[in-house]
Amino acid sequence: MADKLQAIKGMNDILPPDSARWEWFEDTVRRLMARYGYKALRTPIVEPTALFVRGLGEVTDIVEKEMYSFTDHMNGDLLTLRPEATAGMVRAIVEHNALYNGPLRVWQMGPMFRHERPQKGRYRQFHQLDVEAFGHAGPDVDAEIILMVRALWRELGLKEGEHLTLEINSLGQPAERAAHRAALIAHFEAHADRLDDDAQRRLHSNPLRILDSKNPAMAPLVESAPKLLDYLGEASRAHFDGVRAVLDAAGLGYRINPRLVRGMDYYNLTVFEWVTPLLGAQSTVCGGGRYDTLIEQLGGKPAPGVGFGLGIERLLLLLEAAGLNPPPSVPDAYAVVADGVPMATVMPVLETLRAAGAAVVLHAGGGSLKSQFKRADASGARHALIFAPDELSRGELALKPLRDAAAAQRTRSLADAALWAGELLPA
Ligand code: ATP
Ligand code: MG
- 160-204 pLDDT, tens digit per residue, is 999 999 999 999 999 999 999 999 999 999 999 999 999 999 999
Whether ligand 1 lies within 6 angstroms of the CB of 122 is answered as: yes
Ligand 1: residue whose CA is nearest its atom 3: 282
pTM for the full predicted model: 0.94
Other beta carbons within 10 Å of 184: 21
- Give yes or no for residue 84 CB within 6 A of ligand 1: yes
Whether the bond between 17 and the residue before it is cis, its omega within 30 degrees of 0, is yes
Q: Domain 333-424 class?
A: alpha beta
User: Do the bridges between strand 68-71 and strand 78-81 make them parallel or antiparallel, or are there none, so unpaired?
Assistant: antiparallel
Predicted confidence band at 84 (pLDDT cuts at 50, 70, 90)? very high
pLDDT of residue 427: 83
For residue 263, pLDDT beyond 90:
no
Residues of the chain with CATH 3.30.930.10: 18-172+232-321
Atom of ligand 1 nearest to the CA of 309: 14
Q: What is the mean pLDDT of residues 258-262?
A: 91
Our mutation pick for probing the ligand 1 site, out of 81, 126, 209, 266, counting the most ligand atoms within 8 A of Cβ, is 126
Topology (CATH) of 18-172+232-321 = BirA Bifunctional Protein; domain 2 (3.30.930)
C-alpha–C-alpha distance, residues 75 and 194, integer Å: 46
pLDDT for 370: 96
* Numbered ranges of CATH 3.40.50.800 in the chain: 333-424
Q: Is the pLDDT of residue 143 over 90?
A: yes
